[in-house]
Structure 1
Amino acid sequence: MVRSLVTGLGLAVGAAVIIGLSTLFGLELEHVALLAAALGGVLGLVPHRPAWGKVVGFLAGFVLAWLGFALRAAVLPDSSAGRAVAAFIVVALIAVVAAASRGRLPVWSGLVGAAAIVGAYEAVYTSAPSQFMSESPAAATTVLLAVGLGFLATTVIAPQTDSIATEGASRSARTPSAQSSQDGSSTSNLDDIMTGATR
């Protein structure tokens, strides 16, 4: 409970910082602040070993989804069929990359990476597909910065709350065992007495 509260507050501060930096430096991050902070938080909170695998998987999904936009701009028609083909190719390639890495790059992190660029750039692309080369790099760097801040908020805060919770749990776990050893009895011994079983 404490971990969830502290991590959530950290993400809230991260989202506010993203918007503040956007206003200060003219980065145009307002429309992706909550999305990117949430996705960065997911990336930081979900456990995976090796830890670098989820970050690399995120970047792989991000790049593949960006290439999906490039494919739509260069080859595919701007229609539902074109979008469906691009979505199929991107998700299939994310799955192939995860399988080729033998689980080091999880599928979920690749999907989070794809969601980040799609959420930040889809509306811009739909309004001006011909401006892909000039507008997509700005959208990509913008959302990556925001996701990075969200990821940083969870990776810095969550381990501290985990260590506090683990220390508290270990203390509470030691107390019943100490009392049990002092009494010289345990639940299993009591069950044996009640049922008349002997060892």
Structure 2
Amino acid sequence: MVKSLVTGLCLAVFAAVIIGLSNLLGLDLEHVALLGAALGGALGLVPHRPSWGKVVGFLAGFLLAWLGFALRAALLPDSSGGRAVAAFVVVALIAVVAALSRGRLPLWSGLVGAASIVGAYESLYTNAPSQFLTESPAAATTVLLAVGLGFLATNLLAAQTNPSAEPVTARVEGRPAKRANGSDRNTNLDDLVTGAAK
């Protein structure tokens, strides 16, 4: 309970810092501060082995969703059908990337990456689809900065609040990771979702 409270308060401070940086540096971060801090915090809090996999999965989902906007702007009609095709393609490609990585890039992190760019850019795109090349890079960089700060907040805090945590050894081909005490018990969210946790 205390850890959740401290983590949440740390993320709240970082969200405020993001808005402060926005005003100080003249960046347009205010509308993505909470979105970025929350998604970055979630990315940092959910355990995954290897730890770099969730970051690479996030970036893959982010890039694929950004390319989905490019597809909509270049080829698809600005209609419900066009949006449906783009959404299908993006989510399907994220699933393919996760499957091809054999679990190293988790599906959930790719979906979080897609949600971050969609949350930051969808309304701007809807207002001016023809401005994709000029507006999407700004939206992408601002939300990535906000996500990065949220991720940093949870990782710095985790390192400070849990220095004596038992190390988890590497996975052995399809089996849950063993803790240092030899126990097979593992509460990794990925294992719970895939059914690998016993």
Length-normalised TM-score, structure 2: 0.82
Question: Which residue is equivalent to 2:16?
Answer: 16
Q: 1:26 deviation in Å?
A: 1.0
Q: State how far apart, in whole Å, the 1-side matches of 2:10 and 2:3 are.
A: 10
1:78 aligns with 2:78: yes
Question: Which residue is equivalent to 1:127?
Answer: 127
Question: Which residue is equivalent to 2:47?
Answer: 47
The C-alpha deviation readout for 1:118-168, integer Å capped at 9, x for no partner, is: 00000000000000001100100010001000000000002322237x59x
Quick check: 1:94–1:110 contact (8 Å CA) kept in 2?
yes
The C-alpha deviation readout for 1:11-63, integer Å capped at 9, x for no partner, is: 00110000000000111100000010000000000000000000000000000
Question: Which residue is equivalent to 1:160?
Answer: 160
1:1-199 correspondence to structure 2 within 5 Å: 1-163=1-163
Q: State how far apart, in whole Å, the 2-side matches of 1:158 and 1:83 are.
A: 39
Identity %: 83
Q: Which one-letter code corresponds to 1:88 in the other structure?
A: F
Q: State how far apart, in whole Å, the 2-side matches of 1:126 and 1:103 are.
A: 34
Aligned residues: 166
RMSD: 1.1
Runs of 4+ in 1 over 4 A off after TM superposition: none
Q: State how far apart, in whole Å, the 1-side matches of 2:67 and 2:40 are.
A: 21
> Which of structures 1 and 2 has the bigger CA Rg?
1
The structure in which a higher percent of residues are helix is 1
SS in 1 for 2:163: helix
Quick check: 1:6–1:161 contact (8 Å CA) kept in 2?
no
SS in 2 for 1:154: helix
